[in-house]
Amino acid sequence: MTDVLAAYNLTKAYSSGCQALKGLSLSVQKGECVGLVGESGSGKSTLARCLLLLEKMDEGAVFLHGQPLHLLGKKALRNMRRHMQAVFQHPAAALNPRLKIIDSVMEALDVYRDACPSYLRDVREQREQCAKRLFDMVGLESRFLYSYPHELSGGQKQRAVIARAISIQPSFIVFDEPTASLDMYTQGQILALLKELQRQLGLSYLFISHDVSAVCALSDRIMVMKEGRAVDHFFTEDIFSPERHPYTQKLVNLFAQ
Ligand code: ADP
Ligand code: MG
User: Is the pLDDT assigned to residue 169 strictly greater than 70?
Assistant: yes
pLDDT digit string, tens, across residues 75-89: 999 889 999 999 999
Burial bucket for residue 22 (CB in 10 Å: 0-12, 13-18, 19+) = middle
User: Is the pLDDT assigned to residue 96 strictly greater than 70?
Assistant: yes
Backbone angles phi, psi at 33, to 5 degrees: -115, 120
Ligand 1 centre to CA of 101 (Å) is 31
Average pLDDT estimate for 168-174: 97
Pocket of ligand 1 (CB under 6 A): 14, 16, 18, 20, 38, 40-46
Burial 52-64 (b: 16+ CB within 10 A, else e): bbebebeebebbb
Ligand 2 centre to CA of 145 (Å) is 30
CA 202 vs CA 72, 108, 224, 246: distances in Å: 26, 20, 25, 34
Atom of ligand 1 nearest to the CA of 14: 25
User: Is the pLDDT assigned to residue 144 strictly greater than 80?
Assistant: yes
Average pLDDT estimate for 48-76: 95
Mutate to test the pocket of ligand 1, among 15, 24, 45, 54 (most ligand atoms within 8 A of CB): 45
pLDDT of 124: 92
Atom of ligand 1 nearest to the CA of 48: 6
- Average pLDDT over all residues of the chain: 95
pLDDT of 194: 98
Atom of ligand 1 nearest to the CA of 15: 25
User: Is the pLDDT assigned to residue 131 strictly greater than 80?
Assistant: yes
pLDDT of 115: 87
Q: Enumerate the β-bridge partners of residue 8.
A: 61
Is the Cβ–Cβ distance between 150 and 98 less than 8 Å? no
Ligand 2 centre to CA of 45 (Å) is 4
Average pLDDT estimate for 171-177: 98
pLDDT of 1: 61
Mutate to test the pocket of ligand 1, among 10, 12, 16, 18 (most ligand atoms within 8 A of CB): 18
Mutate to test the pocket of ligand 1, among 14, 19, 54, 224 (most ligand atoms within 8 A of CB): 14
Q: Which residue lies with its CA nearest to atom 22 of ligand 1? A: 14
pLDDT of 114: 87
pLDDT of 94: 96
Q: Sheet of 3-13: strands edge to edge?
A: 19-29, 3-13, 59-64, 67-68
| 5 three-state secondary structure | strand
pLDDT digit string, tens, across residues 187-221: 999 999 999 999 999 999 999 999 999 999 999 99
| 238 three-state secondary structure | helix
Average pLDDT estimate for 87-103: 97
Q: In this structure, how many other beta carbons lie within 10 angstroms of the beta carbon of residue 146?
A: 13
All residues at 6 or more sequence positions from 208 whose CB lies less than 8 Å from its CB, including other chains: 35, 36, 37, 44, 45, 47, 48, 174, 175, 176, 177
Average pLDDT estimate for 141-151: 98
Average pLDDT estimate for 140-147: 98
pLDDT digit string, tens, across residues 3-52: 999 999 999 999 999 999 999 999 999 999 999 999 999 999 999 999 99
Q: Which residue lies with its CA nearest to atom 21 of ligand 1? A: 14
pLDDT of 55: 93
- What are the chain's domains? 3-83+171-256 (3.40.50.300), 98-169 (no CATH)
Q: Which residue lies with its CA nearest to atom 27 of ligand 1? A: 14
